[in-house]
Structures are given as C-alpha cells and as structure tokens.
Amino acid sequence: MPPRWPAFLAAPLAIAVPAAHATTYLTVAQAQQALFPGASFTPLDLKRREHVWRASSGGWFLLDEVLGKHELITYAIALDAQGRLRGIEILDYRESHGGEIRDAKWRAQFLGKTAADPLQLDRDIRNISGATLSCRHLTDGVKRLLALYETELRHR
C-alpha cells in the first residue's frame, strides 16, 4: 500500500537519502572524562583489539567496537576498582544498509575524527523515526568486556 499522508504534510517525494549515516557522540578523551571526571589515564597494552586504560581515581576504562549486520558501534565501559560496571557510553554510531559496514576502507574513513569535526553524513539526517537496530550486539560486547576484566585485569 502506498503511504497515505495527512493533509498538513505536503506529499513528499520518497527521497532516498544516503543509506549510510554516522554520529560521533564523544571522543575517547571526552568519554574518559564523562565516566571518570578529573582522572588521568594510563594505557595498558594487552595485545588485543580492545583498548584498556587504568584510571588514576581507581578503576578501568575499556574501549571496544561491535559490528552488527548494518551497524558499527564504538563504545566504552567504566569499571570501578572492584570490577563493577559503573557506566556505558557510546562514542560512535555508524549505520549502513549498503553493505559498507564490513568494508575496512569504509570504516577507516571514521578513524581519527574528533567531535569538533562532525561527519557530513550526519548533518542532514539527525532524527530518524522507525525501527533501528536491536542492542543485542552491544549487550554481548559488554559481557565480553566483563569477561576480559576477569581474565586479564582483576589481579593487576
């Protein structure tokens, strides 16, 4: 059935805006300050894809990415000194229905950006109504980071 538009909306053209869009919420430094205000951070190289910092105020800042079918999400969690989850922040959200998500070159364009340099892609499509991703990948990612804490960080 074709869309039926209420009278107050001009029947819009079915504008096929780019299927790819991205939002940067926080840089790594901003996320660290949001989760551990005032702390300084020492990186710990575990030779894994997840990035880990120890916070001077006690606790850990863990940075990771989850890759869904259509979305790539960079997120961070804060753990207190006892390993309890005290916060989650999303840093970047990238979505595409064009198959680019799994393309390393497409993903590479987002590296090294800052919040002061918002992606052009996002500028015109900020408010999307309608089913978006489920957060299952993100929930699985957080579980994975908590397991990483148990095996690699708890006894440090």
Partner 1 sequence: MRPSSGTVRRARPLLGTLVDIRISGALRHALPALERAFAAIERVHRAMSAQESTSDIARLRSGRRCALDPWTRRVLDRAEEIRQATDGLFDCAACDYALDGIAKGFAVDRAVECLQDAGITAGVVNAGGDLRVFGDAFEDIHVRTPHEPARLLYIGRVRNAAIATSASAGLVDPLARACRSRAAGATVIASDCMSADALTKPCMLEPVKAEKLASQFGAKAIVL
**Of 116, 92, 100, 84, which Cα lies nearest the Cα of 24?**
92
From the list 8-16, 48-56, 101-109, 143-151, the region that binds partner 1 by CB under 8 A is: 8-16
Stated length of the chain: 156
CA distance readout (Å), 118 to 25, 67, 84, 99, 104 = 9, 21, 33, 22, 20
Q: Decide: is 120 part of the binding site for partner 1 (CB under 8 A).
A: no
Which residue in the set 29, 46, 85, 128 belongs to the binding site for partner 1 (CB under 8 A)? 128
Q: Decide: is 3 part of the binding site for partner 1 (CB under 8 A).
A: yes
Q: Decide: is 4 part of the binding site for partner 1 (CB under 8 A).
A: yes
Residue with tokens 């198959």: 99
Q: Decide: is 14 part of the binding site for partner 1 (CB under 8 A).
A: yes
Q: Both tokens of residue 28?
A: 């790594």
From the list 6-14, 52-60, 78-86, 104-112, the region that binds partner 1 by CB under 8 A is: 6-14
Tell me the residue type at 4: R
Give the side-chain half-sphere CA count within 13 A for 28.
Answer: 16
Contact 78, 35 (CB under 8 A): yes
Q: Decide: is 70 part of the binding site for partner 1 (CB under 8 A).
A: yes
Q: Decide: is 138 part of the binding site for partner 1 (CB under 8 A).
A: yes
Where along the sequence are the contacts to partner 1 (CB under 8 A)? 1, 3-6, 8-10, 12, 14-17, 19, 23, 25-26, 34, 70, 73, 75, 88-90, 93, 97-98, 124-135, 138-139, 142
